[in-house]
Amino acid sequence: MVAIEGLGRLLAEHPFFQDMTPEVRDIVVGCCANAHYRPGEYLFKEGGKADHFYLIRQGSVAVEVHAPGRPAVVVENIGEGDIIGWSWLVPPYVWTFDARAIEQVRAITIDGACLRTKLEANHELGYQLYQRFIPIMGRRISEARLRIVELTTDAVY
C-alpha cells in the first residue's frame, strides 16, 4: 500500500497529470510502476508490443527510427517532465519507433492494457487522458515531419 501512495504522489507531481482531478488520477495509480533504465537500454523497440507508456522523471530518451543499411536516426529527445509512448492507445498496439535511454532514466511506467480496461469503464478518465495525449501526439508528429524534411534536405545537398 505504501508503494501505491508513493506512486500516487509521483503521478500527481508529473506535469502530464498535475491538473487532472484526484479521483480520476487515483484510478491510474493501480496501473503504475517505477522503472529505471541505464544508458543504452531500450524502453521499447519498433515492432514490439506497445503495452505501456512512460512518464520521464529523470534523464533523457532518444526516439529513433531505422532505415535499412543506415544507422538509427534520432527523431526527438524526450526529457524530464515529459511523456513517451502513445501506441498503446491505437490498435494494433505496436511501437513505430525505438526509445533508448541516453542517460540514466527514472520513469513511471503505466500499463496500457490495464488502463484501456479502465478507460472502457470510466469515460471521464478517457476524456481527461485523450485531452492530454492528443496535443502531444500532434506536436510530435509535426516535429518528426520537420526532422525528416531536415534530414532529407541535408542528404540532397
Angle at 79 between CA 127 and CA 138, to 5 degrees: 40
In the chain (157 residues long), the average pLDDT of successive 10-residue segments reads: 65 89 88 96 96 96 87 90 91 94 97 92 81 76 75 62
**How high is the pLDDT of residue 3?**
42
> What is the per-residue pLDDT for 1?
32
pLDDT at 157: 52
Give the DSSP letter of residue 52.
E
Of 57, 28, 27, 29, give the one whose Cα is nearest residue 43: 57
pTM above 0.85, yes or no: no
Distance CA 3, CA 8 (A): 9
- In order of their start, the domains of the chain are 4-152 (2.60.120.10)
